[in-house]
Amino acid sequence: MCGIVGYVGSRNAVPILMEGLKRLEYRGYDSAGIGCVVRGKLKVVKKEGHLANLEAILPEGLSSTTGIGHTRWATHGGVNDANAHPQIGAGGKVAVVHNGIIDNYDALKKRLIAEDVAFTSDTDTEVIAQLAAKFLDAGDDPETAVRQTLELIHGTYGLVFLFADHPGLIIGARNGSPLVLGVGEGEMFIASDANAIVRHTPKVVYLDDGETVVVTADDFSTKDLRAAVVDKRVETIEWVAADTDKNGYQDYMLKEIFEQPESVARAFGEGGRLVPEFGTAKLGGLNLERRDFFDIRRVQIIAMGTAYHAAMIGAHLMETIARIPARAEIASELRCRNPIVEKETLYFAVSQSGETADTLMTLREIRSKGGRVMGVINVVGSTMARESDGGVYVHAGPEMAVASTKAFTSQVMSFVLIALLFARMRDLSLSDGKSLVADIGLLPDLMRRVLAQAEEVRRIARKYSSAASFLYLGRGPSYPIAMEGALKLKEIAYVFSEGMSAGDVKHGPIALVNEEMPVVMVAVKGDNLEKTIGGMEEIRARKGRVIAVTNVDDPRITRIAEDVIQVPETREALSPLLTVIPLQLLAYYIAVELKRNVDRPRNLAKSVTVE
């Protein structure tokens, strides 16, 4: 969950590292640091807090052609200067930056202390640096010292090593935490995320688990842990650095909310995924033969966080459109109960980054038992993308804000396409398929109409920004939207909020309702509308303050609700793509009113790569 960047070449590494860390700060911002080789010695500068704190103490004129950098999201050890990375081994000959958790660090630390090694931090990472230093002192070359170290540690890691006696050399290693190598002309880059290096080169190599890479300015060599050479393919990143700029918006999150009409259009338009004349979708990445569609009896979708809410909608779509029994599962819960894997079940794993540890480990568990897993993923070349049996790229583009918005709607759209394809392969008629395709094509313009109401949502946000807690309620496909709206408010405004089924609120939670509690209710045209309006009446009768998000012009809603946010009408199955936008904006504007750091909320990181 931390950010890693490294450079070796002919330019000054310091500004390159700092720029890379700025692009990775959303991955961790408890502390930051850089290390470089200066006249045969390691120079490490690190500081607690945001990257600006590190910038303020950088020595003027610091220059080196080899260096590593890190933004930390704390796991082991408190947030302070000593626990910031890079961590240095005894003797000052090796420094390391690390993303992940070393499970056996305590036993290793006790062993090293017994050998009179003095520790200066409380991190698990320092164990790695001290082990590498020990092997270097014993006469091992850097590559051997790293390999010997990796043989002793157990856990997850993305690691980059820097050596005082070997300027022009860095070594990376990966096990369960992403690392990507950037290949330039006479220079090389390494990072935990391609965002950090895409400004300098579009050519990348993705490391797999159990691989190390020895990097110099002109070459790299990738090996497995047995020192066998692994041939790697150099790939080209599709997007450019400009995609990660704010483009005049105050925050990345606001920019990404407003990018959703375009990102959803890419999700269904990339590669001609919609086939209007046949009323279906074309998703070659699923790698399914036509007969496979008849053999699948159930669908199970695994995910975490916001992706789980997209999975819930995906399961609803598979049942209502494709008429296949489907359910969404929190990946960490499914894995810990020894999942029953069935031959006739098709599994989907949903993740923006494609590196979410709980989802990735569950994917591996299902595949190890013979299950077939499809990925619904944003980041091309990610671990889950490579390890899935097939899948769908959502094409949301780079998402820099920690709180996911455009990736969520692109995931939902991907499930719309999947459900459409399955439905047409089974029993959805041509005319009904064509009708659904036509409605999908209208969505980007409908989303723009919702976004045009941003100032009205801002007014409502100001009105309720002092509320201590919120309830979010919905039924059917609006139930996951209620959960997603509540999650956004928790994530970026730090306001307690609970999303739940509007039908379940009477079974206990309605006791919380009073005149001080705003209750956001999503009411859309469809089978659940009457019951939802009835629920509004019940909330209002208990003096709850109702904020309605609706696509119907019903005088009962305007009478009951204190505030109404109107969205355009579409079929109920597609309504989540419109109703979620006001909830994203509501959370955003409340957070702004409360002066929160919207893009980098406390205690959170963009990609949860540790279990």
Residues acting as catalytic residues: 2, 606
Phi, psi of 485 (to 5 degrees): -60, -40
- For every residue of 31-77, DSSP letters joined together read EEEEEEEETTEEEEEEEESSHHHHHHHPPTT---SEEEEEEE--SSS
Bridge partners of 33, per DSSP, are 46, 70
446 is written with which tokens? 């409908």
Bridge partners of 206, per DSSP, are 180
> CA 482 to CA 586: how far, in whole Å?
12
**Three-state SS for 241?**
helix
> CA 199 to CA 547: how far, in whole Å?
43
- Cα dihedral sign for 98, 100, 104, 106? positive
Contact indicator for 473, 501 with CB cutoff of 8 Å: yes
The beta-carbon contacts of 18-22 under 8 Å, at least 24 apart in sequence, are 18/51, 18/54, 18/55, 18/58, 18/69, 19/199, 20/69, 20/189, 20/191, 20/196, 20/197, 21/51, 21/54, 21/69, 21/70, 21/71, 21/196, 22/51
Q: Which amino acid is at 185?
A: E
How many C-beta neighbours within 10 Å does residue 426 have? 13
Give the E-state strand segments of 279-339 in sequence order.
Answer: 280-281, 298-303, 326-330
Contact indicator for 289, 261 with CB cutoff of 8 Å: no
342 is written with which tokens? 């069935």
> CA 405 to CA 261: how far, in whole Å?
12
Q: Which amino acid is at 169?
A: L
> CA 585 to CA 456: how far, in whole Å?
10
- Nearest Cα neighbor of 318 from 304, 292, 299 is 299
- For every residue of 448-494, DSSP letters joined together read HHHHTTHHHHHHHHHHHTT-SEEEEEE-TTHHHHHHHHHHHHHHHH-
> CA 478 to CA 484: how far, in whole Å?
10
> CA 63 to CA 40: how far, in whole Å?
13
Bridge partners of 157, per DSSP, are 100, 176
Contact indicator for 396, 352 with CB cutoff of 8 Å: yes
- Cα dihedral sign for 588, 592, 595, 598? positive
Contact indicator for 459, 358 with CB cutoff of 8 Å: no
**Three-state SS for 570?**
coil
